[in-house]
Structure 1
Amino acid sequence: MSVRDQFTAAFWDERYGSSERIWSGEPNAVLVAEVADLAPGTALDVGSGEGGDAVWLAARGWRVTAIDVSRVALERVAARAEAEGVADRVTTAVVDLYADTVPGTHDLVTAHFMQLPGADRPAIFRGLAAAVAPGGTLLLVGHDPEGMPPEAHEHHPPDMFATAGELVTELGDALDGWTVEVAERRGRDAVQPDGRPRFLYDAVLRTRRPT
């Protein structure tokens, strides 16, 4: 399987279809921390998965568009939103970031742990920046190269991990006039698939578009 195959609908539909749940269901910790001071508005949750972030945002008053390449994943987002009483604030859309235009403009565009090949990342993340409304926020969070376990490279070549500073550089003039509010390496405790603890670093980039 090629690295590119890992970003197809077929790959993710099969993966989600093989298990009742893949992710924890909890919102990403960086999202919780970085959105706390933002007034609810419209949000685009990119690579929404099973909806932990989208439903959390909706429960706090955001009107969320959840996008993912996997229809199976988005069915889970919709079902969870319905179960938690926020279905009226969550819309889902199948979007392939390699082929489709990101829909609409939003007060918050957020993407977590979308580990893209280095050659593809700048164009795709520039597309996300273009979907931020004037005065809105772009929040990108990924695995920082520092401290990544060797086994991570079995499925993710090293160029799929970038620092926050590298993300700023790759976005380049797409951020002209923007305010970079956070661009840092942030440590956290994590658990490996086999249950062993590990300390990891996240690359956190939060930027605000001018009004």
Structure 2
Amino acid sequence: MDSTPHRRPTADAAGDQGTPDGDAELFWERHYRTQRTWDTRVNPLLAETAAPLRPGAALDLGCGAGGDAIWLARRGWHVTAVDISTTAVERVRERARDLGVGDRVVTEQHDLGGSFPAGQFDLVSAQYFHTPLPLLRGRVLRTAARALRPGGLLLIVDHGSTAPWSWNQDPGIHYPAPTEIAAELDLDPARWSVVRADMPHRRATGPAGETATVIDNVLLLRMIAR
């Protein structure tokens, strides 16, 4: 049974932080400094996508506790793991070293609204890249797409439904479908192709052990090799 998603930039993770104060770095740094436990499991849709791939260079946007970055590194990927929280990236760096994959994990602190890691990648992962604070998300994801090598993949996994344990229970909340996300990115179809765009259901477990069926919105794009 899959657990609830465990990414840094998810609004669900902000439930114990109160109302955001507008300073994203301070908000998420406070969140990670006060985290009592760190869920370091890989997100299932990343594992499903990456398992059959030949390892290369990966970029983990909003690495949080580092479960995805460590999972990739242990399978031979060289991973750049980025987060806005200095505490998060330091802990991921320490855990990678402790697990013997420190040479395959580079951590960087970035507010992705203002800076972006250098390099080209075979896989860019944006798992539950949501935040209750202002962020030009579409611009960040377009930059991520342009950081792909020819043939590389951009995997975007978003919330598609409200879990019972979510901090935001607004019945009017709109979760953009994969086709809407693709339209917002407005990428040239001559350079990027849609590999997957669907809304799978899965059973998830909340922080208090409760379970519910949730929906994930999945968009997988490939940079077309020329």
Fold conserved (TM > 0.5)?
yes
Separation (CA, whole Å) in 2 of partners of 1:150 and 1:12: 19
Per-residue CA deviation, residues 106-149 of structure 1 (Å, 9 max, x unaligned), is 111001011157972221211111111111110110101x4555
Aligned residues between the structures: 206
Q: Which of structures 1 and 2 has the larger relative contact order (alpha carbons within 8 angstroms, sep 6+)?
A: 2
Moved over 2 A (4+): 1-5, 19-22, 116-121, 146-155, 173-177, 192-195
Alignment of 1:1-211 (within 5 A): 1-2=19-20, 4-5=22-23, 8-22=24-38, 24-116=39-131, 120-144=136-160, 146=161, 148-149=163-164, 151-153=166-168, 158-159=173-174, 161-211=175-225
Task: Report the AA paired with residue 51 of structure 1.
Answer: G
Q: Report the CA distance between 1:195 and its aligned residue.
A: 2.4
Q: Give the TM-score normalised by structure 1.
A: 0.88
Q: Give the TM-score normalised by structure 2.
A: 0.83
CA pair 172-132 structure 1, distance change in 2 beyond 3 A: same
CA pair 141-151 structure 1, distance change in 2 beyond 3 A: closer
Separation (CA, whole Å) in 1 of partners of 2:215 and 2:21: 23
Separation (CA, whole Å) in 1 of partners of 2:72 and 2:146: 21
Separation (CA, whole Å) in 2 of partners of 1:102 and 1:186: 31
* Conserved? CA contact 1:102–1:127, under 8 Å: no
Separation (CA, whole Å) in 2 of partners of 1:191 and 1:177: 38
Gaps of 5+ in 1: none
The root-mean-square deviation of aligned C-alpha atoms, in Å, is 2.4
CA pair 3-49 structure 1, distance change in 2 beyond 3 A: same
CA pair 205-113 structure 1, distance change in 2 beyond 3 A: same
Q: Report the CA distance between 1:170 and its aligned residue.
A: 0.8
Gaps of 5+ in 2: 1-18
Task: Report the AA paired with residue 79 of structure 2.
Answer: V
Higher helix share: 1
Q: Report the CA distance between 1:209 and its aligned residue.
A: 0.3
Task: Report the AA paired with residue 223 of structure 2.
Answer: R
Q: Report the CA distance between 1:176 and its aligned residue.
A: 4.0
CA pair 166-116 structure 1, distance change in 2 beyond 3 A: farther
Task: Report the AA paired with residue 178 of structure 1.
Answer: W
- What percent identity do the matched residue pairs reach? 37
* Conserved? CA contact 2:93–2:107, under 8 Å: yes
**Could you say what secondary structure the match of 1:123 adopts?**
helix
